[in-house]
Amino acid sequence: MKDHLESSIFGDHEDTVEHLDEPHTPVALSRREIREQELAARRRGRRPAGPAPTGRGTPSVLRRILVIVLALAVIGGGVAVAYTALRPVVESLLESNDYPGPGTGEVRVTVEQGAGGSAIAKVLVEQDVVKSSKAFIEAANEDPKSAGIQPGVYEMKKQMKASDALAILVDPKNRMITRVVVPEGLWATEVYARLSKSSGIPVAQYTAAAKKVGDLGLPASAKGNIEGYLFPASYEFGPTATALDQLKQMVAESTKRLDALGISPAQMERVVTVASLVEGEAQTEGDRAKVARVIENRLAAKMSLGMDSTVNYIFKKRGVPTQQMLDSDNPYNTRRFTGLPPGPISNPGESALKAAAAPAAGNWLYFVTVNLDSGATKFAATYEEHQRYVAEFRQWCSVNKGKC
List, for residues 75-122, the tens digit of each pLDDT value.
555 555 444 555 554 444 457 899 998 999 999 998 988 899 999 999
Q: How far is CA 307 from CA 287, 353, 355, in A?
A: 15, 18, 17
pLDDT digits (tens, 9 = 90+) for 289-345: 999 999 999 999 999 999 999 999 999 999 889 999 999 999 999 999 999 999 999
Stretch 266-285: mean pLDDT, rounded?
Answer: 97
Query: pLDDT higher for 151 or 196?
Result: 196
User: Is 17's pLDDT higher than 60?
Assistant: no
| Among 30-39, 132-141, 256-265, the least confident range | 30-39
pTM of the model: 0.67
User: Is 180's pLDDT higher than 60?
Assistant: yes
Stretch 111-137: mean pLDDT, rounded?
Answer: 94
Helix, strand, coil fractions of the chain, as percent rounded to 5: 50, 10, 40
Query: pLDDT higher for 343 or 22?
Result: 343
Beta bridge partners of 108: 155
Stretch 10-15: mean pLDDT, rounded?
Answer: 39
Q: How far is CA 266 from CA 1, 214, 218, 219, 297, in A?
A: 131, 17, 11, 7, 22
Q: What's the pLDDT score for residue 7? A: 35
What is the distance between the alpha carbons of residues 228 and 185, in angstroms, rounded to a whole number? 9
User: Is 66's pLDDT higher than 80?
Assistant: no
Q: How far is CA 151 from CA 41, 160, 356, in A?
A: 87, 20, 35
Residue 30's pLDDT band, with cuts at 50, 70 and 90, is low
Q: What's the pLDDT score for residue 139? A: 95
Structural domains of the chain in order of their starting residue, each with its CATH number: 2-44 (no CATH), 104-174 (3.30.1490.480), 186-260 (no CATH), 271-399 (no CATH)
The answer to whether the Cα torsion of 322, 326, 327, 330 is positive or negative is positive
Query: pLDDT higher for 70 or 182?
Result: 182
Percentage of residues in the chain having pLDDT higher than 90: 70
pLDDT digits (tens, 9 = 90+) for 212-223: 999 999 999 999
Stretch 128-156: mean pLDDT, rounded?
Answer: 94
What is the distance between the alpha carbons of residues 35 and 14, in angstroms, rounded to a whole number? 13
Task: Decide: residue 2, CB within 10 A, 0-12 exposed, 13-18 middle, 19+ buried.
Answer: exposed
In 10 A of CB 296, how many CB atoms?
15
What is the distance between the alpha carbons of residues 302 and 229, in angstroms, rounded to a whole number? 27
Residue 68's pLDDT band, with cuts at 50, 70 and 90, is low
Residue 238's pLDDT band, with cuts at 50, 70 and 90, is confident
Closest CA to 277 of 193, 334, 315: 334
What is the distance between the alpha carbons of residues 348 and 295, in angstroms, rounded to a whole number? 16
Q: What's the pLDDT score for residue 402? A: 86
In 10 A of CB 385, how many CB atoms?
15
Q: What does pLDDT average to over the chain?
A: 84
What is the distance between the alpha carbons of residues 310 and 304, in angstroms, rounded to a whole number? 12
Strands (E), 175-259: 178-181, 234-237
Closest CA to 126 of 158, 92, 171: 158
User: Is 188's pLDDT higher than 60?
Assistant: yes
